[in-house]
Structure 1
Amino acid sequence: MKYFRRMALASAVGILSINPLQAEVGRKLSGDSGATQQGAQGVGQARVSDVDKWLSQSDGNYKWALPSLDTSAASDKPAAPLPAQPEASKQNTSYYRRADSYATNPDSDPPRYVRRLSEIGVDALKDITWLEIGFEHRTRYEMRHNDIRHVEGGFDNPFFLRSRAYLGIKEILDPFRFAVEFQDSRVYNHKFPPTDQERNLYDLIQGYGELYLKDALGEDDRKQNRPLRFRAGRMAYEVLDRRFLARNEWRNTTNTFEGFRLNLGQQDNDWEVDMWGMQPVRRLQTEFDEANHHLWFFGAIGHWRKWSDIITLQPYYMGQKQTADPNGFTATNRLDREIHMPSLRGYGRIGNLLDYDLNFSYQFGTNGTQVHDAYGYTAEVGRNFNYAWKPRVSAFYGYATGDRNPNDNQNNRFDRFFGFARPWSSDHYVIYENIKAPRIRFDLQPTQKLGFEASYAWFWLASKTDRLFDSFDGNISVTKDPGFNRDRTGRSGDYVGSALELRVRYQPASRVNIVVGYSHFIAGEFVKNVIAAHPTQIDQRSGNTDFFYVEVLVSAF
């Protein structure tokens, strides 16, 4: 395994050393293509696949930058000719339907920035369909004022840089397939010490081998192959609505795991089963990452799509088993823990009137010497209006229990496992634990390349005796947690505050995406009272915060 890692890392250095500007010049000389070749899948199926790849960006940053179902992909050059129209019987056979809820569709597999070599627009490579490549770079500037994640107030103006490269081999060696993905994450001009959420120098986020048996389980009713896929190695991927297992695309570093994954069926089938057993990888900022051998994460997901025009059902189970790490950085790391979580998700549409997405999860097990007993649920309803600017209105409510009594033998704090933080709060103050969070959202897309979002959210602690996750150096500190983010007496109250969030998304070219965002957080009684209660440890301020950012994402292919 160490030999494989060293070889993979050496390959990564070669790939990442390619100058993106040189790659761009090469593309311009060779021609650009906005349409992809999908072979026998047909035009209808090909376009659905392409849309999914564009829409899959984690937190919805780039869900707007998609090729229309009626036109080729947006491009600053003419699109390549589309394949010949296939027979009608070969179109739109997939049972899969995307969820319309905000930012809940997992990234594609392989990731959205990856293309087959035959699809990059170079005529000499048009027959190389078995090699997948990708390179992307993201730069984000942030301006934060009086960020309540820290005890120190004032301004912070960091720059976050993230580069990724992907290389995959498929079909030519079937049933054996392989893939590696590398990432380099850096932060500059940050006034706080970097953490593993911000920095992770040259490292491997994927490196696996796969056994792919295309028709091992026969066909479904629509004559689509039902394959069997077994992967082993290091993996980074997303499932369900991304609230429990996600790559965490907004964050500058990525969740990744080592272990195995078994899939029965594929996304297009009427049913599919996804199972895994993995150990999360510790992100070591300046060293090669390694698996956390004290923790196993396992689960199984069923996908029932037979009625997907009305509802897609996803019953699932996830679990964690942790043995105490005496050298663990947090108190939680130093406990024996075992959590089981049976759950059910259902999403779909009610005709052309409304779309919906509902999920309920119950957790039980042990947390050190305590009994673990918690639950959480999310609900979103929305409507798309058939006007030129594609307006959408949606309402969301999320709830997760907090620890009701800090002195009893029960732990009621809901565990989000390895899910994403956004879009609970763009400021990263709130995650899927100890929270009541209603939100209203409004979206507009005046053109295919331009989109606007506006939302307003309110936050309450589900239990006022439990913590507000990322506040006052409680969880991202590189030093010991000072404990300011929890008032065990409950006297600080339960109202956290509210937030106005705005975002503009623009795609000036087919491989360039720009996002400009702003959030204003208005502190509630809990935040104000915590600040006032620690006059010597926390900079005294109103609790209100401002967050502005500009993000540019460039892909090479």
Structure 2
Amino acid sequence: MPVSLTIPSQRSAAESEPGEDKGWFFSADVRLRTEYLAHSFRLLAPQQDHLQFSRSQLGLRYQASSWSAEFEVQDSRAWGDKTLSPIGTDDVNTLETINAKFRKTWQVNSSSAVSLTAGRMTLDYGSRRLLARNNFRNTSNAFQGVHLRRTSANATTDLFYTMPLQRRPDALDRDSLRGNEFKLDKAGRGERFWGASYDYQYPKANSTLAAYVFRSQLSEQGSRPVADRKLWTLGSRLSWRRAGLDMEAEAAYQWGESLAGILAPKADLLDHRAWFTHIHLGIDLGSDVNFSVAYDHATGDRDPFDGRNERFDRLYGARAFELGPSGIFGAAIRSNIRSPQLRLSWQATQRQTWLLSHRWLSLDSSRDFFVTGFRRDTTGVSGDDIGRQWELRWRWKPADSPYSLELGAAYLDKGAYFKGEGGAPLNPPNVDNTEYVFAQLNWRY
């Protein structure tokens, strides 16, 4: 029986496309990471934090000619946290099945096929900004449902209907999280996520045009720390690359009903109208060096007392690949943000890559939450200047080796929002700039 020794970077550990080698495929991925943070931007946090994380994945798949079955387990743990350390279900999810699915494929003609996947699964779509299998984050989004895909020579159509898995223990059971205790995840009866997308490639223009619509419904009766929502998200994305230039533009509009926050009364659903946009333009400078400029904008709630919510909901997307490391850092998020960026990436050797990024961070609405900081000044007198974020990463992967090493650092030069110059009692001063470093080692089989 053949054995697969490679793992697709944005797919599950054992997953591959129909038509590849038949038989049994086994894979494993173990990652260890240490993170250090000083002078947090959060309202409540230790002065210094030093945590260790582990993530282990084991995958098994059987591939036949027109069907496949896959099973994958992921174990995510954290150690060394303090009372106010910002750990939660993004960091800890012990011994959980994230893929247990069956897929059947029908060949329509020589250039077209239809596949149906059912069971528990991880999902990636497009830019991964709104729907992703998480990579840098220590745990992964997973769903239970069905996924129908049709592929042709230049187009891909997706339809899916799922119940997102609730990672347990939840954030309210902090003692269990800190103890890395096991509790089986479940699909919430009050939570649904479904949608459709269409992606078309223009080979002659070396470009892709996509459109998508997502529906997110969340209505929990228990004590889980989430805010109810009933949202539609309609978006489009254009990417293009030619002669050393690359461009991407994406925008999405969101409407429906949502709560202002997790502490709001369940009956106080607000009219929800929000949007986000991303634009990116890069140029190859030669010698495997790329320079790019980008701009990210996600709306915030303009007035906390007007009966509307204009804060963009980021759904189930990933952010570390674009907005900076998450983990115990994670200053930037696609909600209530305006952020230009300059980015330089280069491949120093076949085994080493570097990334240097600088972002300006500001709130779209000074009266709404600085989401990752758990801060809100409803008067707006603190202003919107979060500061300037620097990021540096280095990756090294020896040839023909299962090991890889990554080192990174981030620095938040805090802006006027943290200075207390407006005298806002709801936003206490926190002027020391935030420093963050991490180191991680991967082993893949």
The TM-score by the shorter chain falls in which range?
A: 0.7 to 0.9
Residue in structure 1 matched with residue 192 of structure 2 by the alignment: 296
2:158 maps to: 274
Q: For residues 149 and 200 of structure 1, what CA distance do their matches in structure 2 show? A: 23
Deviation per CA, 1:462-514, whole angstroms, max 9, x where unpaired?
1111111111xx3xxxxxxxxxx111111110111111111111113521111
Q: 2:306 aligns with which of 408, 413, 431?
A: 408
Maintained 8 Å contact 2:40/2:434? yes
Q: Using a 3 Å threshold, how does the CA distance of structure 1 residues 190 and 141 change in structure 2: closer, same or farther?
A: same
- Counterpart of 1:137 in structure 2 is 30
Distance 1:131 1:309, change over 3 A: farther
Change (3 A) 1:343 1:530: farther
- Residue from 238, 244, 255 that aligns with 1:346: 238
Equivalent position amino acid for 1:158 in 2:
L
2:294 to 396, 401, 418: 396
> One-letter code of the match for 2:294?
F
Q: Report whether the alignment pairs 1:355 with 2:250.
A: no
1:189 aligns with 2:189: no
Quick check: 2:101–2:118 contact (8 Å CA) kept in 1? yes
Report how far residue 212 of structure 1 moved: 1.6
1:545 aligns with: 434
CA, structure 1 residues 554+530, in 2 after alignment: closer, same or farther (shift >3 Å)?
farther
**SS state of the match for residue 529, structure 1?**
coil
Tell me what 2:261 maps to.
none
The separation in 1 between residues aligned to 2:26 and 2:408, in whole angstroms, is: 30
Distance 1:451 1:496, change over 3 A: same
The alpha carbon displacement at 1:545 in A equals 0.6
Structure 1 residue matching 2:419: 3-state secondary structure: helix
Counterpart residue identity of residue 293, structure 1: R
Whole-Å separation in 2 of the counterparts to 1:236 and 1:376: 24
Of 488, 495, 502, which residue of structure 1 is paired with 2:378?
488
Query: More strand per residue: 1 or 2?
Result: 2
Flag the 1:246–1:151 CA change in 2: closer, same or farther, 3 A.
Answer: same
- Counterpart of 1:17 in structure 2 is none
Residue 140 of structure 2 corresponds to 254
Match of 2:279 in 1: 379
Q: Deviations over 1:499-530 (max 9, x none)?
A: 11111111135211111111111111113339
Where does residue 424 of structure 1 map in the other structure?
Answer: 323
CA offset at residue 541 of structure 1? 4.1
Cα distance in 1, alignment partners of residues 103 and 421 from structure 2: 51
Q: Distance in 2 between matches of 1:516 and 1:531?
A: 38
2:222 alignment partner in structure 1: 327
Q: Contact 1:115–1:132 (CA<8 Å) still a contact in 2? A: no
1:131 alignment partner, SS class: strand
- Call closer, same or farther: CA 1:210–1:308 in 2, change over 3 Å: farther
Corresponding residue to 1:230 among 110, 113, 116 = 116
**Over the residues paired in the alignment, what is the CA RMSD in angstroms?**
2.5
Is contact 1:430–1:468 with CA below 8 Å preserved after alignment? Answer: no
1:198-227 CA-partner distances (Å, limit 9, x unpaired):
1111110111111222x1x2233xxxxx21
Structure 1, residues 303-362: CA drift from partner, whole Å, max 9, x if none?
101346432011111111223x23243361xx3x3211111101011x314110110101
TM alignment of 1:207-222, pairs within 5 A: 207-213=100-106, 215=107, 217-220=108-111
Residue 393 of structure 1 aligns to which amino acid in structure 2?
A: F
Using the TM superposition, give the Cα deviation of residue 533 of structure 1 relative to its aligned residue in structure 2, in angstroms: 4.9
Instruction: Output the TM-score relative to the length of structure 1.
Output: 0.70
In 2: Cα distance, 1:235 partner to 1:414 partner: 26
Cα contact 1:257–1:278 (8 A) shared by 2 = yes
CA distance in 2, matches of 1:508, 1:531: 52
The 1:530–1:549 alpha-carbon spacing in structure 2 relative to 1, beyond 3 Å, is farther
CA contact (8 A) 1:308 1:348 kept: no
Given that 1:436 and 1:461 are in contact with CA atoms closer than 8 Å, whether structure 2 keeps it comes out as: yes
SS at 2:369's partner residue?
coil
Amino acid in the other structure paired with 1:551: Q
Measure, in 1, the Cα distance between the counterparts of 2:273 and 2:43.
30
Contact preservation (8 Å) 2:212, 2:236:
yes
Matched with 1:4 is none
Unaligned runs of 5+ in 1: 1-32, 38-49, 57-106, 120-127, 221-225, 475-484
Higher helix proportion: 1
The CA deviation at 1:391 is: 0.8
Q: Which of 159, 172, 182 matches 2:52?
A: 159
1:491, 1:326 → 2: CA distance?
A: 36
Deviations 1:69-123 (A, max 9, x none): xxxxxxxxxxxxxxxxxxxxxxxxxxxxxxxxxxxxxx14x44x7689xx9xxxx
**Offset of residue 386 of structure 1:** 2.8
Aligned residues: 413
**Cα 1:391/1:319, change in 2 over 3 Å:** same
1:240 paired residue number: 126
Deviation at 1:153, TM superposition (A): 3.6
> C-alpha separation between the residues in 2 aligned to 1:460 and 1:522?
12
In structure 2, what is the equivalent of residue 443 of structure 1?
345
Return the offset for 1:190: 1.6
Q: Give unmatched runs, 5+ long, in structure 2.
A: 170-181, 259-267
Shift of 1:457: 0.5
What letter is aligned with 2:273? Answer: D
Provide closer, same or farther for how the CA distance between residues 250 and 530 of structure 1 changes in structure 2, counting only shifts above 3 A.
farther
Q: What does residue range 428-507 of structure 1 map to in structure 2 within 5 Å?
A: 428-471=330-373, 474=374, 485-507=375-397
Q: Which residue of 1 aligns with 2:398?
A: 508
Written as runs of structure 1 = structure 2, the 5 A alignment for 1:51-90 is 56=9
Residue type at the aligned position of 1:263:
R
Select the residue among 74, 82, 91 that pairs with 1:198. Answer: 91
Paired residues of 2:167 and 2:185 also in contact (CA < 8 A) = yes
Is residue 2:161 matched to residue 1:283?
no
Contact 1:403–1:413, Cα closer than 8 Å, also in 2 = yes
State the secondary structure of the residue aligned to 1:227.
strand
